[in-house]
């Protein structure tokens, strides 16, 4: 389950809080992002559990990491870097955190991100636009299918990536399925719909 603490964090929390009840309470707050830092500050200010604030900050930071691209899989002859940069061009115009992960991956790889025209982002589907005179769409398998593209060749690979808790986005370029992009999404822990 996303947001669950590992055994080492639990042991550190035990030694920091010194109480099973405190540990359970702080754990629940951290896992549900409901003010664990504020409670830890109060405990520290009262002279109780002086180490709990740093531990709460560390655990909360681990659980709110930004999504990041973990894999790019292509089909149909397109290069991985080309797919990443074309999709980044479309995603740069979107405001979705998964789109930002794609833009960051392209930037980190030193790829130039082209501009998009004719941009459209339908709620629940995904962004679509023209990048370097190529029509690029990104979203679920169902979204690509609704656009007349059939990503059946990538479904098994996408299912394997989802089993590893990745969010999988399908990409189409022009009138062909071009690939999938896997994103580790530690905040949500759940993918866009398949």
19-68: pLDDT as tens digits: 444 555 555 555 444 455 565 566 555 656 666 666 655 555 555 568 89
- Using only C-alpha atoms, the chain has a radius of gyration, in whole angstroms, of 21
Residues 30, 101 within the same domain? no
- pLDDT band of residue 7 (cuts 50, 70, 90) is very low
All residues at 6 or more sequence positions from 77 whose CB lies less than 8 Å from its CB, including other chains = none
Domain boundary among 46, 62, 78: 62
Quote the number of domains for the chain: 2
Q: What is the pLDDT of residue 56?
A: 58
Q: What is the pLDDT of residue 41?
A: 60
pLDDT single digits (tens) 130-156: 999 999 999 999 989 988 899 999 999
Residues 18, 114 within the same domain? no
Residue 92 lies in a domain: yes
pTM summary value: 0.65
Q: What is the pLDDT of residue 122?
A: 77
Residues 88, 150 within the same domain? yes
Strands 176-184 and 68-74 come out as antiparallel
Q: Which residue range(s) make up the domain with 142?
A: 68-184
C-alpha–C-alpha distance, residues 185 and 189, integer Å: 5
pLDDT single digits (tens) 64-110: 568 899 999 999 999 999 999 999 999 999 888 889 999 999 999 99
| φ/ψ (deg, to 5) at 166 | -100, 150
Strands 68-74 and 126-131 come out as unpaired
Residue 192 lies in a domain: no
Residues 158, 180 within the same domain? yes
| Catalytic (active-site) positions | 62
All residues at 6 or more sequence positions from 61 whose CB lies less than 8 Å from its CB, including other chains = none
Residues 110, 179 within the same domain? yes
Residue 190 lies in a domain: no
Residues 130, 49 within the same domain? no
C-alpha–C-alpha distance, residues 183 and 128, integer Å: 19
């Amino acid at each position: 389950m996303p947001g669950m603490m590992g055994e080492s964090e639990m042991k550190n929390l035990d030694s920091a809080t010194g109480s099973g009840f405190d540990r359970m309470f702080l754990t629940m707050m951290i896992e549900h992002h409901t003010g664990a830092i504020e409670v830890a500050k109060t405990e520290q200010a009262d002279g109780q559990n002086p180490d709990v604030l740093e531990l709460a900050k560390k655990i909360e930071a681990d659980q709110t990491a930004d999504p990041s691209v973990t894999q790019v899989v292509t089909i149909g002859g397109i290069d991985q870097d080309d797919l990443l940069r074309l999709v980044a061009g479309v995603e740069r115009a979107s405001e979705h955190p998964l789109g930002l992960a794609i833009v960051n991956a392209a930037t980190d790889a030193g790829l130039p991100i082209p501009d998009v025209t004719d941009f459209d982002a339908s709620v629940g589907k995904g962004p679509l636009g023209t990048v370097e005179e190529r029509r690029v769409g990104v979203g679920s398998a169902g979204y690509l299918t609704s656009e007349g593209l059939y990503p059946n060749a990538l479904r098994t690979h996408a299912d394997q990536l989802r089993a590893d808790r990745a969010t999988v986005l399908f990409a189409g370029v022009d009138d062909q399925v071009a690939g999938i992009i896997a994103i580790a999404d530690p905040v949500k822990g759940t993918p866009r719909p398949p």
